């Protein structure tokens, strides 16, 4: 394309961009974290610092839900994925329901007011108004 590369936050070598990233290892999620078990919401709130969540799952099935070693195949890796997704769902639900959510959700008949309130509550999770509008459109709400 004959465009001179002028990187601001990374390097480019032979046409390959090397983008720096920080990994945040947040270990220790246990079933019931949203209820305060294990590190509880501290673990989940640490996730809000991340731009991307990368789930690393033990596919050998050799760790139980509490992280203890068991015989390979004794634990179902799919169940690990489900429990992780469920904990994340409960975490977001908790963020949404803080304070006076029931009053807001019942009185905000205007889509713009509701979208603004959702964006405000979810801003700490790096969820923007654009994300919310896209989700509403895709879910046909």
Give just the sign of the alpha carbon dihedral 17, 26, 134, 113: negative
Residue 135 lies in a domain: yes
Average pLDDT of every residue of the chain: 82
Residue 105 lies in a domain: yes
Provide the domain limits for residue 108: 100-141
pLDDT in tens, 85-125: 898 898 888 888 877 766 666 666 667 778 888 888 888 88
Considering only CA atoms, give the Rg of the chain: 20
The total domain count for the chain is: 1
- Which two tokens mark 121? 């509550």
pLDDT in tens, 6-19: 777 788 888 788 88
With contact defined as beta carbons under 8 Å apart, do 94 and 34 qualify?
Answer: yes
In the chain, the largest separation of any two C-alpha atoms, in whole Å, equals 57
Residue 140 lies in a domain: yes
Spacing of C-alpha 95 from chain mean position: 12
Place of tokens 């068991």: 70
């Amino acid at each position: 394309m004959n465009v001179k590369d002028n990187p601001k936050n990374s390097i480019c070598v032979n046409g390959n961009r090397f983008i720096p990233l920080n990994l945040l290892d947040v270990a220790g999620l246990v079933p019931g974290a949203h209820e305060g078990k294990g590190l509880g919401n501290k673990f989940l709130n640490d996730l809000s610092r991340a731009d991307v969540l990368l789930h690393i799952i033990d596919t050998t099935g050799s760790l139980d839900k509490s992280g203890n070693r068991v015989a390979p195949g004794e634990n179902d890796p799919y169940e690990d994925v489900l429990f992780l997704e469920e904990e994340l769902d409960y975490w977001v639900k908790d963020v949404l329901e803080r304070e006076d959510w029931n009053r807001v959700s019942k009185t905000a008949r205007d889509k713009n007011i509701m979208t603004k309130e959702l964006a405000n509550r979810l801003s700490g999770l790096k969820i923007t108004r654009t994300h919310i509008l896209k989700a509403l459109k895709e879910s046909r709400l």
